[in-house]
Structure formats: C-alpha cells, structure tokens
A and B are shown apart, each in its own frame.
Chain A
Amino acid sequence: MQMRRRALGVACVLALTACGTATGAANDEAGTQGDSAVARRAAAQLEVEALPGIGGGPFEGRELDPPLVTPRFTLTDTAGQPFDFARDATSPVTMLYFGYTSCPDVCPAHMAALGKALSELPAEQADQVQVVFITVDTLNDDGARLRDYLDNFDPGFVGLTGTADEVNTALRSVGLAPTAISTEDAFPPQHPSDVLAYTGDRRAHVSYPFGSPPSAFARDIPRLIDLSSADGEAAARFAEPGTAEEVA
C-alpha cells in the first residue's frame, strides 16, 4: 500500500511535469512572438522617424525599406479594358491589394477599412486616392463578379482580372512573395496580406498589414498625398512610365 501510494505520487508528478512542459512551451512561444512583434514595431517606427522628407511623424502603416518600385503589368479592368498599372494608376496615391471575392475574412476587412477611410476624408483628399484590387482567383472571378464585389465598398475601386500567368507576373513585378493562384487543385488561393500605398514618386514607401483599421488609412492618406506633391514633377512622371527607373 505504501509503495502504491508512492507510485501514485510519482505518477502525479509525471503528469504535472508533462502538462507543465507543454503549457510552458506554448507560453514561451507566445511570449517570444509578442516580444518580436513589439521590437519590429519599435524598429519600424524608428526608421520612419529617421526617414527624411516625410513630414508629420511616423506613418500608421509599415514603412518599406527599401521602397517598392511601381510594378509593370497590364491586366483587364471590370469594364473589359486593359489596365496598364504604370500608365493608368495616375492618382497621387494608389492603394494596391491582391485578394479574391470569395475570401470572406481578410479581404473584405481590408477593403471595408479603405472604403470607410475614404468616405470619412474630405472629398478633395479622397479624390486623390485610387484603390486597385487584383484577383488571385483567376478560376472564378470575372469582371462582373469583381465589380459586384467592389461596389460593396466603393464603386470607384478598380478591379483587375487576368490569366493566372498574368496575375503571377503582376505579383512578381510588385516584388511580393510568390503566392498560389487558384487552380482546380489549389483552392482557396493565397494572397499577400498587405495593401501597398504607391505615391507620386513611383514608389511604395508604406504598406498596410492585415488588421489596419480605417483610422490608419485616414491618418496616413493626407501625408501620402503630401509625399506625392512634395515632388512637383511627380504628376508629370506618371505620364512618362519610361522614366520610372530613373527616379532615385
């Protein structure tokens, strides 16, 4: 009996140790992720503060260092017309996002945040922003479906479709991690999590990770417009896509 009790004690200690180890590991992991996220945010903030030429303090979005160059690709808009991004994205600020219409979670959250931010800004600011949504579900999304989807957020949002090859070309040209375009065997597709903000200097200096609230866009858009107009020749450059690589 004495022995058995001791054995039970051993079993309990074993049980507690085993569970404790698992819980501890999970906590450690969460702690590490939290710390690194904080560190990343702090680092990003420092970089933005140190970036010359961007007034008004750090952006709510995440600074891209180095910035991304305006991509070269042509897709088809929801009216069936070709849309050459370097030539046709002519607004001082272009918000670019890759998603798909049957995405019920992340994509509508992003688009709704942008739509709400634009609806709350003064018209003279909102009018300087163009939102471009490129579908990664080339199997199912056509122009009509994309138009119907985007109209939920803002009838002015531009929707682009293409073949899987064309959308992959666009993704590569943007410089984002390659994702899985929808195929018969791979559904749902993957897509980049961020909205990229291109400005008049033909660069994306800031991106908006998933979860960015309307207030982040609303706060940053006036500054992004300033960034575009800070260079008086920015608008002219849009008319000359050939000069994109010459911009320092």
Chain B
Amino acid sequence: MRLPLPPSWRRAVAAVATSLLLAACAGTAGSPSITVSDIRAPAPAGPNGAVYLTLRNDGDGDDRLVSASSDAAGNVEIHESTMTDGTMSMRQVDGVDIPAGGEAVLETGGFHIMLIDVRDDLAEGDTFDLTLAFETSDDQTVEAQVVPLVP
C-alpha cells in the first residue's frame, strides 16, 4: 500500500503506527495494581523450601514479578518446574508476567519462589516476611505462613 503523502508525513505515520503497535501489545497504556493472596510456604523437608502465591493485577498496565527476598533463607530465587515427556526439570527464571486485568498463579509444578538454604527451624504455623519486587509497581512485603506439606 502506498499512501499519497509527502515523505515526511509518511515517516510520521509510520512512527505513529509503530508506537501504537508497541503500546497495544506491551499494554503500557496504564499502571498496574498488584494484590498478593493465597501465600503459603509448605514446611520445608530438605535444604530448600518454596513459597506459592497468587498475584492479581487489577490495574490497566502489565507488570512482572522480578525478584523476591526474605530473611528466612540464604538466597531467594524464582524457579519454574516443567515436565517434558515424563521428565521433571526445574530452572531459574528472571521473572513472572502479571498481565493487566489478569493474574499469575505460582503453584506446585509451575512457578515458585524458591527459598535456598531455608531456615531449618521453620515449622507449621510459623510466619516470615517475604518482599516481592516488581518491574513497575513498588515492592510489597507480605507475610508467608508455613503450612503442612499436604494441605
């Protein structure tokens, strides 16, 4: 398609089209609003533990969980378990997307916040602070409760 426009206008139109395309896909139209719920940390059985939670984004801009930290562990990372042809693998990921108007569910067999060298005195019923850092939203510190391994 050739628009009957002077070259400078065509460049302007192309720029507008490109920015609209990026804006529509990246969803950066508004700002995210993240609510954290269903936070639970199964009682650790080995040297590492996991925290599961749900991140709800009621805002109109996308966001992303990019890291987490806690005094309850030597190191905290975001990991994903995946199954391929009957084989389970786990790998560290650099974040979890939380789309505008949607949610990210961290649950067994999918994403989890991994507590590496978790405090070995954590028992069912104990609580500890977990700070979540997002790409756009402010950090949030939430309370995680230690729950039985099988709910």
Contact = CB atoms under 8 A, between A and B. Distances in A.
Interface residues of A, number: 43
Given A145-B46, A190-B89, 4 more contacts: A4-B12, A8-B17, A104-B49, A105-B90
Contact of A104 (B4, B9, B23, B112): B112
Contacts of A101: 45-47
A106 B88 contact: yes
A194 interface: yes
Contacts of A111: 45, 149
A3 B90 contact: no
15 contacts: A8-B13, A8-B17, A10-B17, A11-B16, A11-B20, A14-B17, A14-B20, A18-B25, A103-B46, A104-B115, A104-B118, A109-B109, A112-B148, A153-B45, A177-B87
Given A190-B88, A214-B150, A105 B45 contact: no
Given A104-B49, A113-B150, A3 B9 contact: yes
A108 B20 contact: no
B87 A192 contact: yes
Interface in A8-36: 8, 10-12, 14-16, 18-19, 22
A102 B88 contact: no
B7 to A, nearest CB: 13
Interface string A202-233: 00000000110010000000000000000000
B86 A177 contact: yes
Given A105-B50, A191-B88, A192-B87, A11 B44 contact: no
A193 B88 contact: yes
B150 A15 contact: no
A57 to B, nearest CB: 25
Contact of A7 (B17, B45, B46, B112): B17
A172 interface: no
A143 B45 CA distance: 15
A188 interface: yes
